[in-house]
Chains A and B, each alone.
Chain A
Amino acid sequence: MRIRLRYSKLGKIRFTSHRDVARIWERTVRRAALPVARTEGFASRPRMHFGLALSTGYESTAEYLDLDLAEPDAASVDLTLLAEQLTDLLPAGLSVDAVGQLSPGAVSLQQAVTSCTWRLELPGMTAAQARGEVQRLLAAPSLVVTRERKGQPVTDDLRPALLGLSVEVGPQGLTVLEAELATQPRGVRPAELMALFDPPCPDPIELGGRVCRTHQWIGDDGARREPLTASDATSPAHAEVRAS
Chain B
Amino acid sequence: MNDLWPQLEPLLAKVQKPARYIGLEEGSIRPEHGPGKVSWLLIYPDTYEVGLPNQGLQILYEILNERADAVAERTYAPWVDLEALLRARGLPLFSVDTHRPAGQFDLLAFNLSAELVYTNVLNCIDLAGVPVRVADRRPEHPLVIAGGHCTYNPEPLADFLDAVVLGDGEEVVGEITELVGEWKASGRTEGSREQLLRELSKVPGVYVPSMYEVSYAGRELVAVTPRYPDVPERVEKRTIADLADWPYPKRQLVPLTEVVHDRLNVEVFRGCTRGCRFCQAGMITRPVRERPAAQVRRMIADGLRRTGYDEVALTSLSTADYSGIEDLVRDVIDDAPGGQPVSVSLPSLRVDAFTVGVASEIQRSKRTGLTFAPEAGTWRLRQVINKLIREEDLYAAVESAYSQGWRRVKLYFLTGLPTETDVDTLGIAELARNVVRIGRTYSKQASATVSVGGFVPKPFTPFQWFGQNTVAELQRKIGLLRDATRRDRGVQLKWHDPKASLIEGLASRGDRRLGPVIEEVWRKGGTFQEWSERFNHDLWVETMAAHGLDIDWYVHRHRDEHEVLPWEHLSAGLHRDFLWQDWRDALAEQGLPDCRWTPCYDCGACTGYSIEHIVASAVPPAGGSQGTWQDLDSGGEVPVTLLSGRASGVGGR
Show the binding face of A for B, using Cβ within 8 Å: 12-13, 15-17, 19-20, 23-24, 26-31, 33, 43-44, 56-57, 89, 91-93, 203, 205-208, 243-244
Q: Once bound together, how far apart are the Cα atoms of A57 and B12, in whole Å?
A: 8
Report A-chain residues with C-beta under 8 Å of the C-beta of B22. 12-13, 15-16
Q: State whether the Cβ of B9 lies closer than 8 Å to any Cβ in chain A.
A: yes
- Complex contact A24–B18 (CB within 8 A): no
**B24, A12: Cβ atoms closer than 8 Å:** yes
- Name 22 A/B residue pairs within 8 A (Cβ), A-sorted: A13-B256, A15-B21, A16-B256, A16-B257, A17-B19, A17-B257, A27-B254, A27-B307, A27-B308, A27-B309, A30-B338, A33-B337, A33-B338, A56-B19, A57-B12, A91-B24, A92-B24, A205-B13, A207-B10, A208-B9, A208-B10, A243-B24
A243 to B5, CA, bound (A): 13
Given contacts A30-B340, A31-B305, A92-B24, 13 further A-B contacts (CB under 8 A): A15-B19, A15-B22, A16-B22, A17-B19, A26-B308, A30-B310, A33-B338, A43-B366, A44-B341, A57-B13, A89-B308, A91-B26, A244-B30
A57–B18 Cα distance when bound, in Å, is: 8
B306: chain A residues at CB < 8 Å are: 31
CB distance from B8 to the nearest CB of A (A): 10
**B427 in contact (CB, < 8 A):** no
- Residues of chain A within 8 A of B23, CB atoms compared: 12
B256 near A24: Cβ-Cβ < 8 Å: yes
- Chain B residue nearest to A30 in the complex (CB): B308
Residues in B with CB closer than 8 Å to A203 are 13
Let me know if A206 and B10 touch, CB within 8 A: yes
Contacts of A92 in B (CB 8 A): 24
- Provide the residues of chain B in CB contact with A15, threshold 8 Å: 12, 18-19, 21-22
A23 touches B258 (CB 8 A): yes
B14 sits at the interface (CB 8 A): yes
- Report, nearest first, the 8 A-B pairs whose CB atoms are least far apart: A27-B308, A15-B18, A205-B13, A208-B10, A31-B308, A30-B308, A12-B22, A16-B19
In the assembled complex, which residues on chain A have CB atoms less than 8 Å from the CB atom of B310? Answer: 30
Name A20's contact: one of B258, B341, B366 (CB within 8 Å): B258
Q: Please, how many angstroms separate the alpha-carbon atoms of A161 and B309 in the complex?
A: 41
> A108–B24 Cα gap in the complex (Å)?
31
Please provide the chain B residues from 318 to 372 with a CB less than 8 Å away from any CB of chain A in the complex: 337-338, 340-341, 366
Residues of B contacting A26 in the complex (Cβ-Cβ under 8 angstroms) = 308
What's the nearest-Cβ distance from chain A to residue B199, in Å? 38
B residues less than 8 Å from A207 (CB atoms): 10
Chain A residues lying within 8 Å of B30, measured Cβ to Cβ, are: 244
Residue of B nearest to A25 (CB): B308
In the complex, are the beta carbons of B10 and A20 less than 8 A apart?
no
A98 to chain B, nearest CB (A): 22
Interface of B is mostly: loop
Q: List chain B positions with a Cβ less than 8 A from chain A.
A: 5, 9-10, 12-14, 17-19, 21-26, 30, 254, 256-258, 305-310, 337-338, 340-341, 366
In this complex, the member of B9, B23, B305, B341 whose beta carbon has the largest number of chain A beta carbons within 10 angstroms is B9
Contacting residue for B256 out of A43, A89, A91, CB 8 A? A91
Chain B residue at minimum C-beta to C-beta distance from A89: B308
- Expressed in whole angstroms, the minimum distance between the Cβ of B91 and any Cβ of chain A is 14
Chain B residues near A12 (CB, 8 Å)?
5, 22-24
Determine which residue in B24, B258, B305, B306 has the highest number of CB atoms from chain A within 10 A of its CB, and name it.
Answer: B24
Q: Which residue of chain A is the closest to B405 with respect to CB atoms?
A: A42
What is the CA–CA distance of A97 and B19 in the complex, to the nearest angstrom?
23
Cα of A207 to Cα of B305 in the assembled complex, Å: 41
Across the two chains, which residue of chain A brings its CB closest to B254? A27
Q: Which residues of B contact A13 (CB under 8 A)?
A: 22, 24, 256
Kindly name the residue among A12, A17, A91 whose own CB sees the greatest number of chain B CB atoms within 10 A.
A12
CB neighbours (8 Å) of A244 from chain B are 30
Assembled-state Cα–Cα distance A92/B24 (Å)? 7
Question: A26 to chain B: closest CB distance in Å?
Answer: 7
Q: How far is the CA of A208 from the CA of B257 in the complex (A)?
A: 22
The residue in chain B whose Cβ has the minimal distance to the Cβ of A208 is: B10
Among A31, A203, A243, the one with the most B-chain Cβ atoms within 10 Å of its Cβ is A31
Residues of A within 8 A of B307 (CB): 27, 31
- Most-contacted residue by chain B among A16, A26, A44, A89 (CB, 10 A): A16
A137 vs chain B, min Cβ distance (A): 23
A31 to B302, CA, bound (A): 11
Instruction: With both chains docked as a complex, state the minimum distance between the C-beta of B335 and any C-beta of chain A, in angstroms.
Output: 14
B10 touches A93 (CB 8 A): no
CA of A24 to CA of B338 in the docked complex: distance in angstroms? 19
Measured between alpha carbons, how far is A244 from B306 in the docked complex, in Å? 22
Residue of A nearest to B21 (CB): A15
Partner of A93, one of B24, B309, B341: B24
**Closest beta carbon of chain B to A64's beta carbon, Å:** 20
* A244 vs B366: C-alpha distance when bound (angstroms): 37
Please name all residues of chain B whose beta carbon is closer than 8 Å to the beta carbon of A57 when the two chains form the complex. 12-13, 18
Q: Provide the bound-state CA to CA distance between A93 and B25, in Å.
A: 12
B18 touches A206 (CB 8 A): no
For A26, A29, A43, A208, the residue with the greatest tally of chain B CB atoms inside 10 Å of its CB is A208
Measured CA separation A13–B309 after assembly (Å): 20
Q: A15-B22, A16-B257, A23-B258 are in contact. Are A28 and B13 (CB under 8 A)?
A: no
Tell me the minimal C-beta distance from A13 to chain B in angstroms.
6
Query: Which chain A residues border B256 with CB–CB below 8 Å?
Result: 13, 16, 20, 24, 91
Question: Nearest chain B CB to A243's CB is how many angstroms away?
Answer: 8
Q: What separation, in Å, do the CA atoms of A27 and B307 have in the docked complex?
A: 7
A44 CB to nearest chain B CB (Å): 7
Determine the residue in chain B with the shortest Cβ distance to A123. Answer: B10
Closest to A32 in B: B308
Find chain A residues with CB under 8 A from B309 CB.
27
**A residues less than 8 Å from B17 (CB atoms):** 17
Question: How long is the Cα–Cα vector from A29 to B338 in the complex, in angstroms?
Answer: 12
Complex-state Cα separation, A171 to B26, whole angstroms: 32
CA–CA, A27 to B338, complex, Å? 13
The CB with the most chain B CB atoms within 10 A, among A27, A29, A30, is that of: A30
Contacts of A17 in B (CB 8 A): 17, 19, 257
Across the two chains, which residue of chain B brings its CB closest to A21?
Answer: B256
Q: How far is the CB of A74 from chain B (nearest CB, A)?
A: 14
* A209 closest partner in B (C-beta): B10
The closest CB in chain A to the CB of B305 belongs to A31
Shortest beta-carbon distance from B449 to chain A in Å: 20
B4 CB to closest chain A CB (Å) equals 12
Query: In the bound complex, how far is the Cα of B27 from the Cα of A92, in angstroms?
Result: 12
A39 to chain B, nearest CB (A): 12
Kindly report which residue of chain A lies nearest to residue B5, judged by CB atoms. Answer: A12
Q: Which residues of B contact A43 (CB under 8 A)?
A: 366
Q: Quick one: closest B residue to A35, CB to CB?
A: B338
Assess the B258–A19 pair: CB atoms within 8 A: yes
Q: Which residues of A contact B14 (CB under 8 A)?
A: 206
Of chain B, the residue at the smallest CB distance from A19 is B258
